[in-house]
Amino acid sequence: MPVPSLLAVFAHPDDESLSAGGVLARHAAAGARTAVVTATWASDTLRAAELAEALHILGAGKPRMLGYADARVPESARGRVRFCDAPLGEAVRRLVEHIREFRPDIMVTHDAYGGLPGHPDHVHTHRVTMLAAQAAGLGQLYPDAGAPWQPRALYLATHPRSAVPALREVIGARKAVYSVPDEQVTATVDVGPWMEQKIAAVLAHRSEVERGALPGVIAGLPADARERLFATEWYIRHAPMTAASAQTELTV
């Protein structure tokens, strides 16, 4: 059976590598089409160039950037509205264009908390992606955004509560707050064989490494700690959108 094509949607450059780098690399290695839409930062910034390098490492094509401003970094897209402040219908339509053009079998995005840190851009990316994944299949919505296409499943990158103590042990309190009950996790993916690509993609975000953000913390960890903390990715499978979606799963 062919490995399903995958479109990931994340808030910032580096979220794709941190949250789903292993799954992206795994699907690409199996011959699936993979791509990433990033909600914030302009295409002419350093972080966009770092994103391009990370996606090349993961086999996820070229950046697809919505170009909105980061909620906390105005210079991320000078003169552009913050993603959180953009008209909801406009943001959904722009993402629908990417979904209908790429035509993924499955999609991946942040969970409703926005992952461990609960960043407002992460939370808003979740909301916009949930709406766009539904709207993309409805031909009377955004008819100028391409031919309708319905992804068969949507997976939310998350962390089970049982994994949080180990993360805090290494990276400290550092916003490692939001997690879900273990029983809500529906896909636990071993990405150990793709750890080299995943970590290389994380470290490609050099400006984040240099400023001591999470990629910088990971850069300072020994290989065994990286393996223990980041060789598993967890997802919540969203309710099926079509009857066929029950047959479409992440490669686990």
pLDDT digits (tens, 9 = 90+) for 118-135: 999 999 999 999 999 999
pTM comes to: 0.94
Cα distance between residue 124 and residue 130, in whole Å: 10
pLDDT confidence of 177, banded at 50, 70, 90?
A: confident
Contact residues for 120 (Cβ-Cβ < 8 A; gap 6+): 71, 84, 114
Residues 216-233 have a mean pLDDT of: 94
pLDDT number for residue 239: 64
Does the structure show a pLDDT above 70 at 240? Answer: no
CB 31 within 8 A of CB 56: no
**What is residue 155's three-state secondary structure?**
strand
pLDDT number for residue 167: 87
CB 167 within 8 A of CB 116: yes
Does the structure show a pLDDT above 90 at 68? Answer: yes
pLDDT confidence of 171, banded at 50, 70, 90?
A: low
Cα distance between residue 140 and residue 187, in whole Å: 33
pLDDT number for residue 196: 97
Domains of the chain plus CATH, in order, are 6-238 (3.40.50.10320)
Cα distance between residue 5 and residue 72, in whole Å: 32
pLDDT number for residue 169: 76
Cα distance between residue 193 and residue 154, in whole Å: 24
Cα distance between residue 48 and residue 77, in whole Å: 11
CA distances from 6 to 30, 119, 146, 223, 225 (A): 12, 24, 18, 28, 28
pLDDT number for residue 168: 82
pLDDT number for residue 61: 97
CB 16 within 8 A of CB 53: no
Length of the chain counted residue by residue: 252
Q: From start to end of 26-176, where are the E strands?
A: 34-40, 64-68, 106-110, 153-158
Residues 10-18 have a mean pLDDT of: 98
pLDDT number for residue 160: 97
